[in-house]
Amino acid sequence: MNSLSSIRAFAVDGDGVLYRGNEPLPGLADFFAFLHQHAVPVTLVTNNATQTQQSFSDKLARFGVTLPPDAIITASIATAEYLQKQFPPGTRMFAIGNGVRHALEAAGFTLAERDVAAVVVGMDTSLTYAHLRTATVHINNGAAFIGTNPDKSFPFEGGLAPGNGAILAALAAATGVEPFIVGKPYPPMFELALQKMGVDAAHAAMVGDRLETDILGGKNAGMRTIAVLSGVTSAAMLAERDIRPDRVFDGLEDLLTALRETRK
Ligand SMILES: [Mg+2]
């Protein structure tokens, strides 16, 4: 059960796993070189809804890692792909957040202020009261209420800043309607990663640093889960929680050492 040898594909989180901010974490380039060498599919699965796939690909390239944009699943891209399964092309949607607006347009939807079938909400640092009011009216009129990711806050230089989860909470409070959320820990994002990698959940692992998103979501999706302690979760925190990953490593270097043992 806890063996790494049957894992045929890896979905990996970004911050706290591959890099911390703008610094690569130890073992990053070697980890990807190993996966490429053994033809193991890998996707980057991030709840970030503001950056493009290309910007993550460029960032990894600066760290010596080649990962094409198509192998990068942001919360905005996953939301647009999910909505393509629910609504026909051209469907009118009211969207908050430039990241998800860009993704919806690229997916063939029509951004609109009126007569919309869905309200789609992603992180927006230019959010205004008028945006919240328009979204509230549409949700009350029966438009689907979709969120890219549930993160309530995120760190910035001055402390913690409100995240997309806080925007969703404002709309949920105003309407009494809870959003359908695409990002981790909810299933659509993991399903998209498995689909892109062409493997079933039982033969794929989710590697992440955050228990309540990466690990819980991976478990719920039926994947193997690997926690690394190079991000937000310490060994002491892990011991206190009832979310149990299948394996725990200090970071990518240790995971890679263990992987090499299985492929000798
Ligand atoms: Mg992380």
pLDDT tens-digit map of 213-246 = 999 999 999 999 999 999 999 999 999 999 999 9
In the reported structure, the alpha carbon of residue 31 is separated from the centroid of ligand 1 by a whole-number distance in angstroms of 17
Report the distance separating Cα 184 and Cα 195, nearest Å: 16
Q: Would 76 be classed as within a structural domain?
A: no
φ, ψ of residue 60 to 5 degrees: the values are -65, -35
Does residue 204 share a domain with residue 132?
A: no
Tell me: pLDDT of 206 over 50.
Answer: yes
Does residue 208 share a domain with residue 135?
A: no
- Of 123, 154, 181, the one marking the end of a domain is 181
In the reported structure, the alpha carbon of residue 47 is separated from the centroid of ligand 1 by a whole-number distance in angstroms of 9
In the reported structure, the alpha carbon of residue 181 is separated from the centroid of ligand 1 by a whole-number distance in angstroms of 18
Q: Would 58 be classed as within a structural domain?
A: no
Apex 182 CA angle, 225 and 194, nearest 5: 45
Number of domains in the chain: 2
**H helix count then E strand count, the chain:** 10, 15
In the reported structure, the alpha carbon of residue 212 is separated from the centroid of ligand 1 by a whole-number distance in angstroms of 11
Closest alpha carbon to 147 in 58, 238, 49: 49
Give me 15's structure tokens. Answer: 């911050």
Q: Contact at 8 Å (CB) between 89 and 115?
A: no
In the reported structure, the alpha carbon of residue 48 is separated from the centroid of ligand 1 by a whole-number distance in angstroms of 10
Q: How confident is the model at residue 155 (pLDDT cuts 50, 70, 90)?
A: confident
Beta strand pairing call for 144-147 and 118-121? parallel
State pTM to two decimals: 0.94
**How much is the pLDDT for 2?**
60
Tell me: pLDDT of 1 over 70.
Answer: no
Q: Would 2 be classed as within a structural domain?
A: no
In the reported structure, the alpha carbon of residue 74 is separated from the centroid of ligand 1 by a whole-number distance in angstroms of 13
Q: Which residues pair with 74 in a beta bridge?
A: 46
Among the residues of 63-117, which ranges form H helices?
A: 75-86, 98-106
> What element of type H or E holds 57?
helix 53-62
Average pLDDT, the chain: 96
In the reported structure, the alpha carbon of residue 249 is separated from the centroid of ligand 1 by a whole-number distance in angstroms of 14
47-70: per-residue pLDDT in tens?
Answer: 999 999 999 999 999 999 999 999
- Of 148, 181, 214, the one marking the end of a domain is 181
Does residue 212 share a domain with residue 194?
A: yes
Neighbours of 169 (CB within 10 A): 17
100-122: per-residue pLDDT in tens?
Answer: 999 999 999 999 999 999 999 99
Tell me: pLDDT of 42 over 90.
Answer: yes
In the reported structure, the alpha carbon of residue 36 is separated from the centroid of ligand 1 by a whole-number distance in angstroms of 22
Q: Is 155 helix (H, G, I), strand (E, B) or coil?
A: strand
**How much is the pLDDT for 263?**
79
Report the distance separating Cα 249 and Cα 245, nearest Å: 10
Does residue 96 share a domain with residue 35?
A: no
Active site residues: 13, 15
In the reported structure, the alpha carbon of residue 13 is separated from the centroid of ligand 1 by a whole-number distance in angstroms of 5
Does residue 98 share a domain with residue 36?
A: no
Q: What domain range is 135 assigned to?
A: 87-181
